[in-house]
Each structure stands twice: as structure tokens, then as C-alpha cells.
Structure 1
Amino acid sequence: MQQGYAAVLCFLAVLGLEAAAPGECELTRLLQDKLQYEMRLQYMKHYFPIDYTVRVQYEEVLRPSNITRLRNGTVSEAALRYLWFHVSSQAVLRIREVLPEKHPSWKYTQELCQLFDALGEEYSKYRQTDVEAVVADLVKLIHSAGAESRSKAVRPKALLDNCLKVMRMLYGVPSWESSSILHRCGKTEAVPAK
């Protein structure tokens, strides 16, 4: 992710609202569609060698247990969405970095990058303020050059699995086949199962 996006990403933390912005809702719905199990399996597992891993920093692996711990530490929902967005964007970029342009998964990761870029644009509409210290520290660790020594090997599919699981937690959707991601966006309409 470009260094300039670090500042743009800080804008999300000022939302301070339980409900997400309308543009954010639409973009996360599109991400939901792109992160369907069949697509993650095909593009992030079947098109990679068996047991293939990508090197990422420890801070670039965001699991539901991390979100629960941060919630218990009273981190705001807006800051948690900001953290999810930032970590997930980095994960997709890490995967794309290892792919040649002719790889069958290149276009898929490019489409994910475009959705995250659009989310960055959506968040840039908000006024910048400080985020909770714990979230700001995590973002600094992700961008620090010396953190490469604190890396771990993770399968590409696992990175996107975590992205989807955390998105489900943050947008309050227990079952995406029967509910809409728009639940936190002020709408509760059902979405047909795919």
C-alpha cells in the first residue's frame, strides 16, 4: 500500500458511529461478493502450489480473536473497521506482490485492490483526528521498515479468510447467506443466498 494511504486510513477512525457510511456499505457488500468461499478457494488455494505461503508481518494477520481482545479494551467500532481495512488492504497487496501479471489469480487480486482503494477514497471524506493509541501503534508497526524481521509465513487463502471473518464481526452479520452486510448501515433487508 502506498505510504500516502496511511494518512487517508486514519480518517475512518473519526466516524465514531455504530453505523457505517453509505459508500462504505456498498463497497463492503461488493467485497463480500468477491470473498465468497468458492472464489477464495479457487484463486487463493487451487491456483497456488500446495502449502504455498506469503511472508507477512505479525501485525498483518488480523483474526476475530484480535478484534474481541480490542473490543474488550474498549476500542471503538470505527477504529476497529479502520484497522480491518488497513490490515486487509495490506494482505491483498502482499499476495499481489508475489504474483506475475499472467498468473490466474492476478485479476482477482487486482479487483480486490480496487475495492480497497475505493474504500480509502470513501474514508478520505472524513476529517482526520487521532485514533486510539493501540490502533495507531499497530499501523506504525505495519509501516515500519524494521518489522520485516518479525514476519511469518501465511497461506494466501488464510489471509482472505481472516479478512472475511473479521468483516463479518465488524458489520454485525452472523450469516451472510441469510442477511445483508447492510445490517450496520441502517438497513435490515435480506439478501438471497448465492
Structure 2
Amino acid sequence: MQQGYAAVLCVLAVMGLEAAALGECEITRLLQDKLQYEMRLQYLKHYFPIDYTVQVQYEEVLRPSNITRLRNGTVSEAALRYLWFHVSSQALLRIREVLPEKHPSWKYTQELCQLFDALGREYSKYRQTDVDVVVADLVKQVHSASAESRRKAVRPKALLDNCLKVMRMLYGRRCGWDST
């Protein structure tokens, strides 16, 4: 049993090192692979109680329609990717907050967090002036723990379903992988 655990840790360490050396497109490709439907269904629906929801801020739910609206408002693609990163990583943290370490979904969400950490290193190069004002305000709202913020109950799987859909919209053409 301990050998299996050591092997998993070794794989995670290698994956973390690989993710640290990869660029934005490669990391999002790894995320796309990790967010396959079967995995989201198993880890974020089947392993949770029926109709289980997580309380998130209204701004932490980013749908493709939000991206389309922002695109029509002339927000840059780079700013939209920056927004997607912050909203999706925050949603993942909301899911992790409710999981005990022994939960069957813990390791899966840990792997996703490692990929988002690697992507965060890519986005750490952004300066506040590089991001559109609309996006900067949204990112600020997502990271504020204000008691005044509107909350809504969302299923964990729905949060990562939106994450994947928006990621495909923003990176599919740019990175040259199938956006369907």
C-alpha cells in the first residue's frame, strides 16, 4: 500500500515539474485532459452527496456567455484568459475548502491545483496595467472576501464544466487544439 502511495507522489512530483517548465498552451492542454467528462463526473458528482452545492460569489461563475459579452465589449483576449485563470482557480479553491483530505476527490483536485499553480506562474508576468479595467475590477471582486458580495449555490461539477467550456473558447484556436 505504501509503495502505491509513493508511486502516486512520484507521478505528482514529475507532473508538477513538467507543468513548471511548460508554457500556457501546454498547461491548458494538460488541464483539458484532466477535466475530461468522465473524471469530472466521477470526482465532482458521484463522490459528492446528491444535489450538493458549494457557495460561491456571483462573480466566481464564469460562463461562455459572459466571455462573449466581454468580447463584444472589446475586452482583449489576453485579459479574458487572465480573468478565466483567476475565476477558475478561485472556484477550484472553493471546492477544495469543503473536501477533507481523505475524500476520494482530494487527489484529483490537488492535481488540478498544481496545474493552476503552474499556469499562475505564467500569468505572474502580467502587470495590472496590461489588463483591461473591466477585467481588473472583476478579478478584484473574485478575490475579495466581502460579506456584501452576492452568493449563489453551485454544484462542484458545474463550476469545472464552465471552467472547461470557457478554457476551450479562449485557448482552442490560440493553442491549435480542438475546441469541441
TM-score (norm 1): 0.76
* Higher percent of residues as helix: 2
Which digits, 9 at most, give the CA deviation of each residue in 1:118-161, with x for residues without a partner?
Answer: 00112224555341111111111112232564110000000000
* Aligned length, in residue pairs: 178
Conserved? CA contact 1:10–1:130, under 8 Å: no
CA contact (8 A) 1:79 1:132 kept: yes
Q: Do the aligned residues in 2 keep the contact of 1:53 with 1:156 (CA within 8 Å)?
A: yes
Identity of aligned residues (%): 90
Distance 1:132 1:169, change over 3 A: same
**RMSD, matched Cα:** 9.1
Of the structure 1 ranges 7-16 and 149-158, higher mean CA displacement relative to structure 2 is found in 7-16
Once the two structures are TM-superposed, the CA of residue 163 in structure 1 deviates from its matched residue by 0.2
Change in Cα spacing, 1:123 to 1:143, as seen in structure 2 (3 Å) is: closer
Query: Aligned with 1:56: secondary structure?
Result: strand
Q: 1:91 to 1:102 in 2, by over 3 A?
A: same
After superposition, what is the alpha-carbon deviation per residue over 1:46-93, rounded to whole angstroms, capped at 9, x for unaligned? Answer: 000000000000000000000000000000000000000110000110
Once residues 13 and 163 of structure 1 are traced to their aligned partners in structure 2, the CA distance between those partners, rounded to angstroms, is 24
CA contact (8 A) 1:10 1:128 kept: no
Task: Please tell me whether the aligned partners of residues 58 and 149 of structure 2 are also in contact (alpha carbons under 8 angstroms).
Answer: no
Say whether the 8 Å CA contact 1:83–1:135 is kept in structure 2: yes
Aligned to 2:135: 135
Q: Structure 1 unaligned runs (5+)?
A: 173-182, 187-192
Alpha-carbon offset, residue 8 of structure 1: 29
Q: 1:74 to 1:15 in 2, by over 3 A?
A: farther
Residue of structure 2 equivalent to 1:11: 11
Conserved? CA contact 2:128–2:136, under 8 Å: no
Q: Provide closer, same or farther for how the CA distance between residues 85 and 31 of structure 1 changes in structure 2, counting only shifts above 3 A.
A: same
Preserved contact between residue 18 and residue 77 of structure 1 (Cα < 8 Å) = no
Measure, in 2, the Cα distance between the counterparts of 1:140 and 1:132: 12
CA deviation after TM superposition for structure 1 residue 117, in Å: 0.3
Secondary structure in 2 matching 1:75: coil
Which residue in the other structure is 1:69 paired with?
Answer: 69
